[in-house]
Structure 1
Amino acid sequence: MRTRPLLSIAALALGCTTALASPAEGVIAPDIERGEREFEFAFGTERNRDGKPTNGLELSFGAGVTDRWATELGLEFEREPGDDMKYDGLEWENRFGLLIDEEAPVALSLLLGFERPRERAEGWSSTLGLLSETKIGRFLLNANLLLERSWDVRAEEDGDDAEHEDGDESEEEEEEENETHALGEDDDDEESGTVLGYQWQLLYRHSHSLYYGVQGMGEVGKWNDWAPHDDQEHKLGPAIFGRMKTAGGQRLNYDVGLLFGVTDGTPDYTLRFKLEYEL
């Protein structure tokens, strides 16, 4: 599907992390076009209230497999304060078209993604999302709800190791170990629980190749137990989107956003940039 220009969203997801994603993370478009291939480069930097920046970089390749399925595989890198840029994880994202009629007022796609951090002890994460795009005159309206969850496999691995090391462990000791793991899971509930997040943006079409407007994203905590407002993460700010054609007829799409934190739990600002090369 190519009718929806540039970018937009409304996503419902079950997946990844308990904090805002990489500083390079942008809004995911529901667009699906069979046979399209694209390379993406995304970079972002955010400065926390301590004045130290954190940088994120993403490299990915995507393809439209069918009229209703697009897939993308990406590598994530991160640079924390005082450290070098290093590999941080692998991400696999899939979009499935639900409503792709060009004449429909809303475009809808289902998002299904998986992420495997570099540190195996961090487990893995999954994402389920509903992506949407609405065009109103010269405006593109995007809204995004996210349900995010991380899966921690350390307790299971520890349990298996203990079983192999001591096959004669008593039932009482096993019960104590299980209770310990249960308590550990409770302690890590903040990291393994399902988190509710969102993304949104409102863009104005200045011309066929230029859009500008505002966007925002954030997280409120567990989906069924929101965190105090100051601990939630909310950021918003201006954004600009454009496209250019190369001499060979390919397209270069770009978008830039400068988002400002509005709560104590959010970085002061996030500057992100994405360049997409379509074949």
Structure 2
Amino acid sequence: MKRLLVLAAMLPLAALAETGYYMVTTYDVEGQASIDYKYWNAHYKNSRNVASPEIGIGYGVTSRWYTEVTAQWVQFNGRQTRATGVEWQNDFLLTQGQYDVDVALHTLVERARRRDNGYYVEFGPVLQTQVWRTQLNFNLFFQREMDNGLQNETELAYQWQVKQRWKPWFAPGLQGFGEVGKWNDWLPSKQQSHRAGPALFGELGRVKYEAAYLFGKNSRRPANSFTMRVQYLF
């Protein structure tokens, strides 16, 4: 257990934040509640594998405001599981179909389980458009760790997605995620993290799912990552 705590402390909050592995999208879900299960893992070469299961409760408060509270855990090599913190996500739709591109504002606050690890904030624009049956997404997020006794910088992360709406229960696509370092002074390209790969999406009754397998760098180290998200809507 002590070794697990030391390893968890070595990982920055930003590396465990869910938006490095799951797309934020713009939808009107007023009055809809959901139980939201997420899971990702990263397989590093010559290093411990890291995974993070998460479970949350989401709700569409209005046609423009979605909110979700999520609890997170971390695992190393599929063994002991340790709670890492709780996050509160709020997304606000700024447009609703009147323009070619829908725009939303994404915000997230994550509180670490250990108070001396401080908390993490994230915010930025969410963009979505559709060309015939193809949905396109691109997001830019500003991220910062705070109140942890360190001198932290505001960093920049991005997400992109291409989804082909073939069938309601099966839609193939691609996803990509990355972190480039300080928002106004990017790291050299070799020190940045970029990962992308094939993704699947679908909806079966009250269940929505998505999954992706990503190749590239995770936390600046080469890794293959698997991500999945399953929502039960009610």
TM-score normalized by the length of structure 1: 0.74
Distance 1:57 1:24, change over 3 A: farther
In the TM superposition, what are the counterparts of 1:14-163 in structure 2 within 5 Å? 17-19=13-15, 21-22=17-18, 25-81=21-77, 84-101=80-97, 104-154=99-149
Q: Deviations over 1:124-180 (max 9, x none)?
A: 1112121121100111111111111110243xxxxxxxxxxxxxxxxxxxxxxxxxx
Identify the residue that residue 5 of structure 2 maps to in structure 1: none
Cα-to-partner distance string for 1:89-148 (whole Å, 9 max, x where unaligned)? 0000011110013x5422221112111011211111112121121100111111111111
Q: Tell me the matched-pair count.
A: 223
C-alpha distance after superposition, 1:189-231 (max 9, x if no partner): 4xx1000110001111222332111111010110112112121
Q: State whether residues 143 and 155 of structure 2, in contact with CA within 8 Å, keep that contact through their aligned partners in structure 1.
A: yes
| Distance (Å, rounded) in 2 between the aligned partners of 1:134 and 1:119 | 40
What do residues 5-59 of structure 1 show as CA deviations (whole Å, max 9, x unaligned)? xxxxxxxxxxx95446359831011213211101111111111122421010110
Contact 1:202 1:215 in 2 (8 A): yes
CA distance in 1, matches of 2:116, 2:85: 12
Code of the aligned partner of 2:159: Q
More helix by share: 1
From the CA coordinates, give the structure whose radius of gyration is larger.
1
Partner residue of 1:194?
Answer: 154
Q: 1:208 aligns with which of 160, 168, 175?
A: 168
> Partner residue of 1:172?
none
Q: Could you say if the C-alpha distance between residues 261 and 20 of structure 1 is closer, same or farther in structure 2, counting changes exceeding 3 Å?
A: farther
Q: Structure 1 residues 207, 81: closer, same or farther in 2, change over 3 A?
A: closer
- What TM-score comes out, normalization by structure 2 length? 0.88
Give, as a single letter, the amino acid of the residue that structure 2 aligns with 1:65: V
Structure 1 gap segments, 5+ residues each: 1-15, 155-187, 246-250
Q: Secondary structure at 2:116's aligned position in 1?
A: helix
TM-fit CA distance, 1:80: 2.5
2:220 corresponding residue in structure 1 = 265
Tell me which stretches of 4 or more aligned residues in structure 1 moved more than 4 Å.
Answer: none
Please say if 1:222 is aligned against 2:192: no
Q: Cα offset for 1:83?
A: 5.2
Q: Distance in 1 between matches of 2:65 and 2:219?
A: 39
Q: Larger RCO: Structure 1 or Structure 2 (Cα < 8 Å, ≥ 6 residues apart)?
A: 1
Residue number among 227, 231, 254 corresponding to 2:191 in the alignment: 231
| Percent identity between the two aligned chains | 31
CA distance in 2, matches of 1:269, 1:23: 17
- Cross-structure match for 1:180: none
Q: What do you get for the CA RMSD once the two structures are aligned?
A: 2.2
